[in-house]
Amino acid sequence: MMLSQEAIEVILNIKGKTVTTPEDMADRLNITFYPLSKDRTISPQMEEFSAKLKEVFEKLKVNVVPYSESLEVVPLKKRLKRGVYILLNNFLYLFEKTYGKKEKRHYFDVETFKGILKNQRIKPGISIVACGENDIGNLPIEKTSSFRHSSVITILDKPITINKDSNFYDHFDTAMSLFAYHMTNIIILVDKEEWTLYNFNASHPTYNLTNTFEKGVLYGLIPKIVAPILPYRFSDFIVNKNSFNIDDTNHSYIVRDLVESGKLFEQSGLYPKGKKIDDLPFRNTFHRWIGKIHLDNRSGMSYGFLAYQIPARLSPLIPYNDKEKIFGKNTKIDKDYFFYKNELYALIELKDGKFFMKIPEVWILSQRSGSDKTNINPNKDLVKLGLKDGEMYLQTPKGLALKNDYKPSFDTGVILSHAVGNAIVASILNHYDSNDAFAKRVSNKGLSISHWHGYINPKFIPEGWFLYGENNPNVSCSSPQSAIYAIDGKFKVFLEALRENKKFLGDIHIEPHHGTNISYPSLIELGSYFVKNIEAASLGNKYLSSYESKENV
């Protein structure tokens, strides 16, 4: 490892210690099983799966909490406050509707009202496994104290429409409808032989009920619960409004690349049409409201991203023996990272010794969350993201009025992780060869960073690109784990190339049962490559099995 995990967390603005192995994730997980109502029955296969899942959880040292112990009493004052809020909300909703104003609120019906005011709720940090369909007013999500810190996992019988011949869109449409109808974060579809796992990654891993069951739970299900989708919020950034011009010389050629590559990526078929919250089959307006809250008031979700890393100033490598000359005798350096004059430095070990390096400042032009990836409006769909001395920045174009649908990508952490990783790698390459092609690209023109929910054909990996990540746990996009895997894996394949004197031109980061990230000279060049080589990449899992370790499938 070139940098410790602690150093990576500081560089990427990740707060606290992040668990990155499936075993540690299992140990971190708190789960309870939602009781069946007396008047409900479930299929034998659901019942058997639930019992087997509980047994495996306990074997993997998951903290399985009895349902009665998962509950906490909600103070009367808090319930009264919620009641007053609901009554006021309903009054304003009716007022807006009566006077023909655009409704910005959701009406709370009687069943929902009673459910919210119940005196017991599931404690934050405990996730819930439920079986089958529950009625409105008795859904697990309606009993949780925290939408953000508790996930709902729902076990259902596999519908006859889903089988071995189902394509990406069959799974995608089924999953999104089930998420909305059952108000759940994760769906498990079971039949007599297999179980299929859906989460918001738009993936559909399928595991055998016998020989791969435990590994499917450990590498597939548990990481998706412990590392859930948590959208980035404006509060995560230092925000600068109206701070850059898309038409100036620093941005115009990048904007052109983002816009003109759209037609190519549309032809590639790698970017599916997104889903709007209002088009999903929620059973009432309250559920729709919860869905929007979970997505930080986004109007919907789109899949994949196209981004461009702006040219970065590379950092010189400072020999370890020059420590006192550069930083003075009083600078405390007891870890592989430190701050000097408010600037973040790292200590790295290479083939010819130890060096200090200032972590390069990086900036990226990216599409906002929910935009049409292959047909953007540059005046309202672009976000400028930055990472400097362990702080994340967000800048908006001049003249843009912020609205609820202007949000940073779910994959912001991964985008920034790849960008700063590229700049660090380029700085090291520049140290050894000032004419190195990758270093010159990063410092002079920048490069594109792209993601789609599918994988590249191993026969079409370009020469000079290195692949990694295929055996990582199946975490969700937006999780800190995904950002850590991105930069740490990049460093590993780069150091291997450096040791073996191989030309490094970029990397391909596999995120199992999520998708692929690739750093490439430009979006137009990458789009052209995919269009000219129609078998080079696909949406869905077509090429994933070419990479996955058989131990983890």
- How many Å apart are CA 396 and CA 413, to the nearest integer? 18
pLDDT on residue 145: 84
Q: Are residues 146 and 259 in the same domain?
A: no
Place of tokens 């010189």: 316
φ/ψ bin of 433: left (φ > 0), alpha (ψ from -120 to 50), beta (otherwise): beta
The enclosing H or E element of 250 equals: none
User: Is there a domain that residue 343 lies in?
Assistant: no
Q: Are residues 250 and 287 in the same domain?
A: yes
State how far the alpha carbon of 333 is from the alpha carbons of 269, 317, 345, 346, 427, in Å.
50, 16, 10, 10, 21
Q: Are residues 217 and 261 in the same domain?
A: no
User: Is there a domain that residue 349 lies in?
Assistant: no
H helices present in 229-363, as ranges: 252-268, 285-294, 323-327
Could you write out the DSSP letters of every residue in 66-131? -HHHHEEEPPHHHHHHHHHHHHHHHHHHHHHHHTTPPP-S----HHHHHHHT-SEEEPTT-EEEEE
User: Is there a domain that residue 89 lies in?
Assistant: no
- How many Å apart are CA 467 and CA 190, to the nearest integer? 33
User: Is there a domain that residue 150 lies in?
Assistant: yes
User: Is there a domain that residue 42 lies in?
Assistant: yes
Assigned token pair, 36: 């069946």
Could you tell me if 449 and 415 are in contact, meaning their C-beta atoms sit under 8 angstroms apart? yes
Q: Among 226, 259, 280, give the residue marking a domain's end.
A: 226
State how far the alpha carbon of 499 is from the alpha carbons of 208, 246, 263, 350, 494, in Å.
40, 41, 40, 9, 9
User: Is there a domain that residue 67 lies in?
Assistant: yes
Q: Are residues 133 and 39 in the same domain?
A: yes
Could you write out the DSSP letters of every residue in 475-528? PPTT-HHHHHHHHHHHHHHHHHHHHTT----EEEEEETTTEEEEEES-HHHHHH
Provide the angle, in degrees to the nearest 10, between the axes of the packed helices 252-268 and 523-532. Answer: 20
Kindly report the backbone phi and psi dihedral angles of residue 496, in degrees, each rounded to the nearest multiple of 5, phi listed first: -65, -45
Q: Which residues of 377-409 are buried (b: 16+ CB within 10 A; e: fewer)?
A: ebebbbbbbbbbebebbbbbbeebeeeeebbbb
Amino acid at 522: S
120: which strand partners? Answer: 73
Could you write out the DSSP letters of every residue in 381-406? SEEEEEEETTEEEEEEETTPPP-TT-
Q: Among 200, 226, 252, give the residue marking a domain's end.
A: 226
Q: What is the CATH number of the domain that holds 50?
A: 3.40.50
Q: Among 206, 226, 246, give the residue marking a domain's end.
A: 226
How many distinct structural domains can be found in the chain? 2
User: Is there a domain that residue 538 lies in?
Assistant: yes
User: Residue 533: how many CB atoms within 10 A of its CB?
Assistant: 13
Q: Are residues 191 and 210 in the same domain?
A: yes
Q: Are residues 188 and 263 in the same domain?
A: no
pLDDT on residue 551: 45
Provide the total of helices (H) and of strands (E) in the chain, helices listed first. Answer: 16, 26
| Full domain range(s) for residue 193 | 5-74+118-226
Residues 209, 170, 536, 426: what is their CA dihedral angle, to the nearest 10 degrees?
-80
Q: Are residues 43 and 12 in the same domain?
A: yes
Q: Are residues 26 and 54 in the same domain?
A: yes
- How many Å apart are CA 440 and CA 305, to the nearest integer? 24
- How many Å apart are CA 50 and CA 209, to the nearest integer? 12
Kindly report the backbone phi and psi dihedral angles of residue 207, in degrees, each rounded to the nearest multiple of 5, phi listed first: -125, 150
pLDDT on residue 280: 86
Q: Are residues 448 and 481 in the same domain?
A: yes
Q: Are residues 180 and 246 in the same domain?
A: no
Pair type for strands 337-340 and 465-468: unpaired
State how far the alpha carbon of 404 is from the alpha carbons of 101, 293, 295, 301, in Å.
18, 12, 11, 13
Block means of pLDDT (10 residues each) for the chain, length 553 residues? 93 93 96 89 93 96 96 86 87 83 71 76 94 88 85 95 90 92 95 93 90 92 91 89 90 95 94 82 80 73 91 97 90 92 95 95 92 88 95 91 78 96 98 96 97 94 95 91 97 95 96 95 97 93 76 43
pTM of the full predicted structure? 0.92
Q: Are residues 241 and 215 in the same domain?
A: no
Q: What is the CATH number of the domain that holds 429?
A: 3.40.225
User: Residue 481: how many CB atoms within 10 A of its CB?
Assistant: 21
Cα atoms found within 13 Å of the Cα of residue 123, Cβ hemisphere only: 14
User: Is there a domain that residue 136 lies in?
Assistant: yes
pLDDT on residue 1: 67
Q: Are residues 289 and 185 in the same domain?
A: no
